[in-house]
Structure 1
């Protein structure tokens, strides 16, 4: 069973990763960070299944599609929701290329303990 407040954040951009991690932690999420898809798979093996994976589409080693394929192949993670995100390189909303509040609302809605009942 997934940990209800655990979020696996996979993002290669250091500033985006730090901003999202801080924002999620500030809202009570247990954030596990990874710098790319290969690192993300390793983090999945390190602990309880996350409630949700927040995945940047551009990954330097193991791409996002390959990450999701590998994750879904493991029955422990087959039903974990994955939210993908991509920016255009222009950070209109501070350190992230998207509205962090919108992303937080979506991620935290998936962390609702009633969702896993």
Structure 2
């Protein structure tokens, strides 16, 4: 009898966040929950990542980024067929931002900063499960 277990690899999550403290918090939270997070620091680098790499299980995307904002990044992700259905969770400090749930920059969830870490992780888990 084979007693070895097959362990699924961690789900890769791309974090696009320019604030070092928030990026560090997200990295800690997601690693603790079994995700394999990677951090990208600005909108231009995120768009380059889309062009050069295969998609992750989900994306945590800051709204206000250097070079290109989060909605421009989301539009680039949706325009690439490999990334078009990847769940995107938008983080926004702008209280007036409307959740763009349709159109070129469609996101799947929006969480306002400052955020509740447990709520963010729960939302990301739900999105990753629905996107699987």
Sort the TM-score into its range (normalised by shorter chain). Answer: 0.7 to 0.9
Q: Is the Cα contact below 8 Å between 2:85 and 2:131 reproduced in 1?
A: no
List, as ranges, runs of 4+ consecutive aligned residues in structure 1 with deviation greater than 6 Å.
Answer: none
Give yes or no for the alignment of 1:31 onto 2:48: no
Give the Cα–Cα distance (whole angstroms) in 2 for the partners of residues 58 and 97 of structure 1. Answer: 14
Give the Cα–Cα distance (whole angstroms) in 2 for the partners of residues 46 and 27 of structure 1. Answer: 27
SS at match of 1:55: strand
Q: Is the Cα contact below 8 Å between 1:5 and 1:50 reproduced in 2?
A: yes
Q: Which residue does the alignment assign to 2:75?
A: 69
Name the structure with the higher helix share: 1
- The TM-score with structure 2 as length reference comes to 0.71
- The TM-score with structure 1 as length reference comes to 0.79
Q: Which residue does the alignment assign to 1:58?
A: 64
Per-residue deviation, 1:60: 1.1
Aligned residues: 106
Give the Cα–Cα distance (whole angstroms) in 2 for the partners of residues 75 and 5 of structure 1. Answer: 20
Q: Which residue does the alignment assign to 1:16?
A: 22
Give yes or no for the alignment of 1:99 onto 2:108: no
Give the Cα–Cα distance (whole angstroms) in 1 for the partners of residues 116 and 131 of structure 2. Answer: 24
Residue segments in structure 1 that go unaligned for 5+ positions in a row: 89-95
Q: Which has the higher contact order (CA 8 A, sep 6+)?
A: 1
Give the Cα–Cα distance (whole angstroms) in 1 for the partners of residues 45 and 79 of structure 2. Answer: 17
Per-residue deviation, 1:110: 2.3
Q: Is the Cα contact below 8 Å between 1:10 and 1:35 reproduced in 2?
A: yes
Q: CA RMSD in A?
A: 2.1
Residue segments in structure 2 that go unaligned for 5+ positions in a row: 1-8, 95-112
Give the Cα–Cα distance (whole angstroms) in 2 for the partners of residues 110 and 4 of structure 1. Answer: 15
